[in-house]
Amino acid sequence: MNRAVALLAAALLLAGLAGCGGSGAEPGAPKGATLVLDFTPNAVHSGIYAAEAEGFYEDAGIDLHVQVPGESTDAPKLLAAGRTDFAILDITDLGIADENGLELVGLMPIVQRPLAAILARRDGPVKRPRDLDGHSVGVTGLPSDTAVVDSEVSADGGDPAGVEEITIGFNAVASLAAGRVDAATGFWNAEAVEAERQGIPLRVFKVDEFGAPSYPELILTTTRKELKQDPELVQGMVEATTRGYEFTESQPQSALDDLLTANKSLERGDQAAQLKALLPALKPEPFDEGVLKEWSARASAHGLLPEPADVKGTFDLAG
């Protein structure tokens, strides 16, 4: 009888220990979390891979799994469905998710300025954005491309109605090299760097140099539910990611090594060139509410958002 009681007591004790933390993890063990990237790994994600390799997430009590998005991955919906804890979102996608009632919240900027630009061959007719009036520009087909073209051309004193948009998909460099278009939309940290490495001379017109505010392009995002239910996890994620980008800023070659070690298929020369271009924009800083309001108004004016976003509701300004 005493043996049976002892066994029952032991079983209850083990069951109680397994219930601590909700997942059976031992006290003090890192908490598992998933982060979905916005795109395939590249230099803009260097701070994340540095934080992982240098143990910053582990220091924060987080066992982070970084997930590369598939072609059909819809990160906002994955977040809302609880299938990932965090995601890197384009700021406009975050605004649209907010408009759709997905209850997401931006935690911190990953890059401090917009990456969109108009790229024109240096030996071509487009010397500045207003020169696109009467010329062709290649676009991917996304609505944001038209907003980039319209805002830059009008800000430079040109007429956007006179620009011929040609859908070229994600082939800006090849289209410019072949002379199929006079200019193309692209990212100054990616396509512009690639073209330069291929010896294609370009003029690069960054969107925040022609009309747009210098808003943060990419945002570390979670859900309101996660922020409320597990604030320690969210705070740890923000702090560790911030440390990762501080490390990247101070030791870019080491951060590049961390990125390449985790992603063997990346070519060092390409990523080194991208990181060099990006470094000034990767400085980890908190949100600027005034800049976010400017971005929101511009996005609404160009039809990217149906109405200006609720900045205080969409972004964790206190973080």
| Rounded Cα–Cα distance for residues 87 and 91 (Å) | 12
**What local confidence, expressed as pLDDT, does residue 221 receive?**
97
Return the closest-CA partner of residue 82 out of 34, 40, 24: 34
Confidence at residue 177, expressed as pLDDT on a 0 to 100 scale: 95
At residue 7, the pLDDT reads 37
> Which pLDDT belongs to residue 108?
97
Cβ atoms 271, 43 nearer than 8 A: yes
Which residue type does 34 have? Answer: T
pLDDT tens across the length of the chain (319 residues): 444 444 334 333 333 333 333 344 565 688 999 999 998 999 999 999 999 999 999 999 999 999 988 754 688 989 999 999 999 999 999 999 988 899 999 999 999 999 999 999 999 999 999 999 999 999 998 888 999 999 999 999 999 999 999 999 989 999 999 999 999 999 999 999 999 999 999 999 999 999 899 999 999 999 999 999 999 999 999 999 999 999 999 999 999 999 999 999 999 999 999 999 999 999 899 999 999 999 999 999 988 899 999 999 999 998 6
Cα-based angle 189, 192, 193 (whole degrees, multiple of 5): 65
pLDDT at 74: 81
Do you know the residue count of the chain? 319
Nearest 5°: the CA angle 29, 16, 5 is 140
CA torsion, ordered 175, 123, 43, 305, to nearest 10 deg: -70
Q: Which of 143, 137, 134 is nearest to 118 (CA)?
A: 137
- What pLDDT was estimated at residue 176? 96
One-character DSSP codes across 209-275: GTTS----SEEEEEEHHHHHH-HHHHHHHHHHHHHHHHHHHH-HHHHHHHHHHH-TTS-HHHHHHHH
At 36 the three-state DSSP class reads strand
pLDDT of residue 26: 60
Looking at residue 20, what is its pLDDT?
Answer: 34
Note the pTM of the prediction, 2 decimals.
Answer: 0.86
Q: Do domains 30-113+216-314 and 116-209 have the same CATH topology?
A: yes
Q: Which CATH superfamily is domain 30-113+216-314 in?
A: Periplasmic binding protein-like II (3.40.190.10)
Greatest Cα pair distance, the chain, in angstroms, is 95
Select from 3.40.50.11900, 3.40.720.10, 3.40.190.10, 3.30.70.940 the CATH code of 116-209. Answer: 3.40.190.10
**How confident is the model at residue 17, as a pLDDT?**
31
pLDDT, position 246: 98
> Any idea where the domains of the chain sit in the sequence?
30-113+216-314, 116-209
**252-262 vs 231-250: helix crossing angle, rounded to 10:** 120
Query: Residue 27: its pLDDT value, please?
Result: 59
Between the alpha carbon of residue 34 and those of residues 21, 62, 66, 147, 273, the distances in Å are: 18, 10, 6, 32, 28
CB 287 within 8 A of CB 317: yes
